[in-house]
Amino acid sequence: MTTLQKMAIALALLSPHATQAQAPGDSRKDQSVCNTVAQTVLAMNPSGGLRGPWQWPLGALAKAPGGMVSIDAKGWRAKTKVQALDRLRQDYRAAPGLTEAIGSLWDDNGTFSLYRFGGSSLSMAEAVGGTASCQYFVFFDAPPAGAAHAVAAPPVVENAEPFTFCVKTTGYAGEVAGVPAFVVETDRDSTVELSFTPWRDGGWQGQCTVVIRFSDIFEMTDRFCKDVDCNATAEQALSLTKKVDQSPQAAQDEANGQDAKFKALKKLADDRPPDNQLPTFGGQIHGLFGGAYNDFAEDSVLLPVVVSGETYLGRVGHAAVGWRKVPDYLFAAYKKVGDSLEPVAGFYISKMRGKPVSAAAN
Among 287, 289, 272, CA closest to 347: 287
Give the three-state DSSP class for 252: helix
Please report, rounded to a whole number, the percentage of residues in the chain having pLDDT higher than 90: 71
Going by pLDDT thresholds of 50, 70 and 90, the confidence category of residue 187 is: very high
Task: Kindly list the distances between the CA atom of residue 145 and the CA atoms of 36, 93, 94, 117, 124, in Å, as whole numbers in the listed order.
Answer: 35, 10, 12, 18, 19
Residue 86 pLDDT > 70: yes
Q: What is the pLDDT of residue 67?
A: 85
Rg (CA), the chain: 25
**Weakest-pLDDT range from 20-34, 151-165, 244-258, 341-355:** 20-34
The pLDDT of residue 25: 54
Give Dmax (Cα) for the chain: 81
Is pLDDT at 21 greater than 60 in this prediction?
Answer: no
pLDDT score recorded for residue 75:
95
> 3-state DSSP call for residue 43?
helix
pLDDT of residue 4: 38
The yes-or-no verdict on residue 356 having pLDDT over 50 is: yes
Least confident of 25-39, 201-215, 235-249, 341-355: 25-39
φ/ψ of 107, rounded to 5, equals -130, 180
Give the residue among 223, 219, 218, 230 at the shortest CA–CA distance from 285. 223
pLDDT at position 110 = 83
pLDDT reported for residue 14: 40
Instruction: Average the pLDDT over 228-239 and give the result.
Output: 97
Is residue 104 within 8 Å of 111, Cβ to Cβ?
no
User: pLDDT value at position 290?
Assistant: 64
* Predicted confidence (pLDDT) at residue 151 exceeds the cutoff of 90: yes
CA distance 326 to 288: 11
- CA neighbours closer than 13 Å in the CB half-sphere of residue 43: 10
Q: What per-residue confidence (pLDDT) applies to 100?
A: 92
Question: Which residue type does 156 have?
Answer: V
Q: Helix (H, G, I), strand (E, B), or coil: what is residue 61?
A: helix
User: With bands split at pLDDT 50, 70 and 90, how would you rate the model's confidence at 10?
Assistant: very low
> Are 238 and 220 within 8 A, CB to CB?
yes
206 and 30 Cβ atoms separated by less than 8 Å: yes
pLDDT of residue 88: 93
Q: Which of 174-178, 235-239, 253-257, 263-267 has the lowest mean pLDDT?
A: 253-257
- Give the Cα separation of 314 and 136 in Å (integer): 42
| Residue 89 confidence (pLDDT) | 93
For residue 26, the model assigns a pLDDT of: 57
Q: Which pLDDT belongs to residue 347?
A: 97
DSSP-derived letter for residue 152 is P
